[in-house]
């Protein structure tokens, strides 16, 4: 597997990798570094990489692990939600913009209070759109564990958000 083959394989989902790393490490520079470290890791193990069936899931798993390593070294919070979502509408007035920002901040606060595993499944399922099977492969959890975590995360969010005025 040469450099071009690796890039052609990874490029279609590199933005997902970056967003996932960014959400976990809360720093654009670190997220970029994590994706670069992933590419270096792939290059060093290019023969093994060529034999992997689901390369995207493998890359997401490695990205998660590299992000957690970075977090352990720095002990930082997660990425601010408002930097992840482009809420601009073509005709957003100032009051609507302020209301959206306040709502987003409230939702972010609730998500930030979730345990790390629940934050991870919310990010992978509801933000990145991965299936339960893909999340199970990325996290090395069973499908039933993924389903339970997603259910718990959503239930916790629903309860917490219903208690605050949005």
What single string gives the DSSP state of each residue in 59-76?
A: HHHHHHHHHHHHHHHH--
- In the chain, the domains with their CATH numbers are 3-74 (1.10.1740.10), 93-163 (1.10.10.10)
Average pLDDT of the segment spanning 158-162: 84
| Digit-coded pLDDT (tens) for 41-58 | 888 888 888 888 898 899
Q: How far is CA 22 from the centre of its chain?
A: 7
d(CA 5, CA 111): 38
Whole-angstrom distance, CA of residue 124 vs CA of residue 49: 22
Q: What is the pTM of this model?
A: 0.54
How do residues 131-147 score in pLDDT, each as one tens digit?
999 999 999 999 999 99
Q: Is 76 left (phi over 0), alpha (psi -120 to 50) or beta?
A: beta
Percent of the chain whose pLDDT exceeds 90: 27
């Amino acid at each position: 597997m040469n450099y071009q083959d690796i890039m052609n394989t990874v490029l279609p989902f590199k933005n997902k990798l970056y967003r996932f790393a960014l959400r976990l490490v809360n720093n654009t520079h670190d997220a970029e570094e994590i994706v670069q470290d992933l590419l270096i890791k792939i290059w060093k193990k290019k023969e093994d990489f060529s034999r992997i069936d689901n390369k995207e899931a493998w890359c997401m798993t490695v990205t998660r692990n590299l992000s957690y390593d970075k977090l352990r070294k720095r002990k930082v919070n997660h990425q601010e939600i408002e930097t992840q979502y482009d809420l601009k509408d073509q005709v957003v007035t100032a009051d609507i913009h302020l209301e959206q920002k306040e709502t987003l901040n409230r939702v972010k606060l609730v998500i930030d209070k979730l345990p790390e595993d629940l934050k991870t499944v919310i990010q992978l399922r509801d933000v990145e759109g991965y299936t339960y099977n893909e999340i199970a492969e990325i996290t090395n959890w069973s499908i039933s564990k993924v389903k339970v975590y997603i259910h718990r995360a959503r239930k916790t969010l629903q309860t917490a958000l219903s208690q605050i005025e949005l």
